[in-house]
Structure 1
C-alpha cells in the first residue's frame, strides 16, 4: 500500500482536484483547487494528468511519512520544505523514500500551496470528484493520523522544475462586463479601474474582500436585482459599496450587483495574493477576454515542455556547445597584475 501518513497538519489542509462540473443547476458550484494553474504545474512536473487529486495547504503544510517510495511535486505559494531534514526546492519534483519524512512549513509568498504525488491522492470519489467542498459538506479537512492513499504512479522521473511567475504578489487582474456592469455609472466604472485595492484578510474559499481608500461603489438599481445565477470570478458589490471576488466555493445564486467578472486565467492571481497585496482591475471586452483565455489555456497545455532539470546533466544538454564554459576562469600561476 502506497500512502502518506499524516503526522501533523495545519488548519485548512484538504484534498482538491479541478472540481465538479455540471452541478450548478442543482445548487453546487464547481469547487476544487483555488489555484488551478498550480494543479497544472504539478501535473507537468510529474508528467501526469492534471485531473489527479492534490493536497491544498493554506498558510502552512504539515509533516508526512511515506509508506513507500513516492514522487512529489510542490507548487503554488512557496512554503519551507524538507525531506528527512534536507531543504528541497519549491516548484519542483522530488523523491521521498520509503519511511522518509516530508515537512512543509509556513508560507513565504502567496496563500495556497500544493502537494502533488505521483499517481494522485486516491481518496473517495464523490459526485465524480475527490475535491473537498467544505461549504457543502463533501469530504473533510485532513487531520493528524490520516492515511492518504496514493494511486498507481506510471513514472519515476523527478528533479524537474518550472519557472515561477508573478501571480503571488498581486498585480493587474483582467475582468469582463457582467450582468449589471451597465447599471453602474460610467464614472463609477472608471474609478473602479483606477482604484488600487488591497486584498483584505477577510477571505476564504467562498470569496475575497477587496479593501480600498475613498468611497465605495454603488448603483441606484441595486435594490431591484432579482437573485440569479453567479459563478466564481464574479465581483459582487455589497450594500456598503465593497467589492467581493467570488471564489471556487461561492454560492450559486445571489442578488448583489456584479460590476464585472474576473477571467478564469486571472483568478489564481486573486487567490494567491497575500493579505494586503495590491490588486487593480482592468476591463477587457468579451472578445478580448476570450482571446486572453485561449492563450492562457494553450500556455498551460505546454507546461510539460517548460519543465527543466533542477541540476542539468551536460550529457543531456543538446546545445552544450553554445554555452561559454570558461568565462571568469583564472590561472593559478599567471599573475597579470604583477606585470609592468
Structure 2
C-alpha cells in the first residue's frame, strides 16, 4: 500500500519519535515537532505511536492512493478533501485506490500530520525513519515521491477531539544550566513578558520577540559551550530568546535562561507566526507532576476515540450503502 505525492509543500518531511542516544556523536534527536500529534494519529488508526508519519510545515499537498489505504489527519488543522469532497480533520478515513487526497494550508498552528495505516515504512537509519535536515539524514518530500505503507488492517471513520495547542499560551519551564547567571529582576521580567513567535522559525528553533528590552546574563561572553537539548531557551547576543526544537544543535555557548517541559513542547512548536507565549517557572516536583499527567493522558488517548458521524450530504456515493436494505414491510 502506498501514496504517490502529486504536489507537496516546501517543508514536508517524514518523522517519527526520533533518535535518542546520539548526542555524544553530535546528532540531536530530530523527530516530530509535535509528538502529541503522532500519538493522536496512532489512536485514530489503532496502531503504535512509534510509526512514522508525514509532517507538513504550513502547507500540505495532493496525494494519490495506489491501493486502498487507511489515513488519519492530526496536528495543525488544514483544509482536507478526498476527490473534492471535504473530510474532517482529527479523524481517520479510507482512501480507495485511485482517489486523491488534497491538503491545503494550515488554518491554525504550524505543523499538520498525515498518517498511514501501517505507518510510512521508509528505510530506517540509527533506529529511526526521521528526517534530520541539518544532519543531511533524508530530505524533504518532493512531488513524484512514494510514501510506502506497512502491513495494516483496522477500522476507519473514527474521530478524536485534540488537545488545544495551536494558538500559543503558557509554557511551563524549569531552571537550566545558566539560569543562575540571570539576576532575579531579569527572571521576574522574563515571566511577566508576553512574547510573540517571530518570523525566524524552523525545525531547529523558533525566535520570540517582545516589545521591551532584551534579556542578558552576567558574564555571558565567557560561557563555555555545553550540551543542549530541545526545549532549552537560549538568549542571543541581542537578548531575544530562542526555543530550541528537535533539530537543534547539540552544543552551544549562548546562555540558557530556562528549559520548556517536554509535555509543553507540542504547544511551543505549534505556536503560529505572531502567536503569543508566556513562561511560568515551576519546581522540579511540579514539573514531574505535570509530565506524569501528560504521560497518563497519552495512555488514555485510545479511550477517547469515537465513531465519526458524517453528514449524508458529504458522502458522494451514499446510494451505494443501501441504507434501506433489510427493511421489513409494516403491512406483512
Specify the TM-score bucket, using the shorter chain as the normaliser.
over 0.9
Q: Aligned residue for 1:67?
A: 66
Runs of 4+ in 1 over 6 A off after TM superposition: none
Distance across 2 between alignment mates of 1:272 and 1:291: 23
Distance across 2 between alignment mates of 1:271 and 1:76: 11
| 2:141 matches 1:145 | no
Cα deviation, residue 192, structure 1? 0.1
Q: Aligned residue for 2:6?
A: 7
Preserved CA contact (<8 Å) 2:234 2:243: yes
Unaligned runs of 5+ in 1: 313-340
- Secondary structure of the corresponding residue to residue 125 of structure 2: coil
Distance across 2 between alignment mates of 1:62 and 1:289: 38
Q: Aligned residue for 1:217?
A: 215
Q: Aligned residue for 2:92?
A: 93
Distance across 2 between alignment mates of 1:164 and 1:21: 27
The TM-score normalised by the length of structure 1 is 0.90
Q: Aligned residue for 1:55?
A: 54
Q: Aligned residue for 1:252?
A: 250
Q: Deviations over 1:278-310 (max 9, x none)?
A: 100000011111111111011011100011111
Preserved CA contact (<8 Å) 2:28 2:250: yes
Distance across 2 between alignment mates of 1:53 and 1:216: 39
- Secondary structure of the corresponding residue to residue 277 of structure 2: strand
Q: Aligned residue for 2:80?
A: 81
Instruction: Give matches, 1:293-308, under 5 Å.
Output: 293-308=291-306
- Secondary structure of the corresponding residue to residue 94 of structure 2: strand
Q: Aligned residue for 1:42?
A: 41
Q: Deviations over 1:117-150 (max 9, x none)?
A: 0000011111111000000000111111111111
Distance across 2 between alignment mates of 1:150 and 1:263: 33
Distance across 2 between alignment mates of 1:78 and 1:247: 21
Q: Deviations over 1:141-175 (max 9, x none)?
A: 1111111111011x321111111232101100000
Preserved CA contact (<8 Å) 2:227 2:252: yes
The TM-score normalised by the length of structure 2 is 0.92
- Secondary structure of the corresponding residue to residue 64 of structure 2: strand
Q: Aligned residue for 1:229?
A: 227
- Secondary structure of the corresponding residue to residue 114 of structure 1: strand
- Secondary structure of the corresponding residue to residue 73 of structure 2: strand
Larger radius of gyration: 1
Distance across 2 between alignment mates of 1:132 and 1:51: 14
In the alignment, which of 185, 190, 206 is matched to residue 192 of structure 1? 190
Preserved CA contact (<8 Å) 2:91 2:160: yes
Distance across 2 between alignment mates of 1:111 and 1:219: 31
- Secondary structure of the corresponding residue to residue 134 of structure 2: helix
Distance across 1 between alignment mates of 2:158 and 2:15: 23
Instruction: Give matches, 1:267-282, under 5 Å.
Output: 267-282=265-280
Distance across 2 between alignment mates of 1:148 and 1:241: 42
Unaligned runs of 5+ in 2: 311-332
The CA RMSD measured in Å over matched residues stands at: 0.9
Distance across 2 between alignment mates of 1:123 and 1:177: 38
Cα deviation, residue 265, structure 1? 0.8
